[in-house]
Structure 1
Amino acid sequence: METNKLSHEQYQATFQAPMLDVTATAEPILDIWPYVDSVVPNDLEGYQLTDRIVRHVYQDPKRRFLHVLVSTNDINVFLVVILNLKSIKVHGHYLLDLPKLYNLQSAPEK
């Protein structure tokens, strides 16, 4: 399966504050796992995905995109799979590295 690694700017274009936390109410609209399985290891920058765990799901206020945050071996780093809600397709993925983004300490998964 072909994947689409998004730049920070492309990722930001799918993000609009305030993002709505829909983790508790989100319904699966698309099987993301074939896409996740196709992401090349270089895109994970040394992090490992952990047991197909979706930690959070956020929706932009205009209901254009869902951000599905898949856990890695660091509790502060996620593979974000962005779903286009209009076409019901994967828009792309982005490695959300919160320690790098916000100059935080990294923390391994427990």
Structure 2
Amino acid sequence: MIRLLSNQEYDTTFNSPMLVVTATAQPVVDIWPYVNLLVQNRVVSPYVFQNELIACVYRNGNATYDHVLLPTDSEHRFIVVVVNISQATIYGYYLLDLAQEYGIEDKFPNVPQA
């Protein structure tokens, strides 16, 4: 079952510093069956699913959540699959528009690399 997170639920998964762990993160759960459900519900492009495209992975400061950013057709919009690391489950997904929510112009915020 897919679950769209509210702003408040999404915000509770943050803890500074948010680190980019795209190159080093070991998956605690296979996100692709969940992403397939997102495709079926027209949230994620079939192309993203078929090619297993991940734009970036962020881990919160206390290593309890990963934010797996999936690309969309817009440079500043992502579908974020939020993974609860300690429970090895998917908490839900969030529609992230960096330009609208954070006023960010670059594709990825300037975050320290893990």
Q: What range describes the TM-score normalised by the shorter chain of this pair?
A: 0.7 to 0.9
Note the residue ranges of structure 1 that are not aligned, 5 or more in a row.
none
Give the secondary-structure state (helix, strand or coil) at the position aligned to 2:55.
Answer: strand
Q: Structure 1, residues 45-99: CA drift from partner, whole Å, max 9, x if none?
A: xx74634311111111111101111111112111100111111000110011112
Alpha-carbon distance in structure 2 between the residues aligned to 1:94 and 1:30: 18
Give the secondary-structure state (helix, strand or coil) at the position aligned to 2:99.
Answer: helix
Alignment of 1:70-81 (within 5 A): 70-81=70-81
Alignment of 1:1-110 (within 5 A): 2-39=1-38, 40-41=41-42, 44=43, 48=45, 50=48, 51-103=51-103
> How many corresponding residue pairs?
101
C-alpha RMSD over aligned residues: 2.1
Give the fraction of aligned pairs with identical amino acids, expressed as a percent.
Answer: 37
Higher strand share: 1
- 4+ long deviations beyond 6 Å: none
Q: Retained in 2: the 8 A contact 1:23–1:58?
A: yes
TM-score w.r.t. length of structure 1: 0.80
Following superposition, the deviation at residue 104 of structure 1 comes to 6.5
Note the residue ranges of structure 2 that are not aligned, 5 or more in a row.
108-114
- C-alpha spacing 1:104/1:22, structure 2 compared with 1 (3 Å): closer
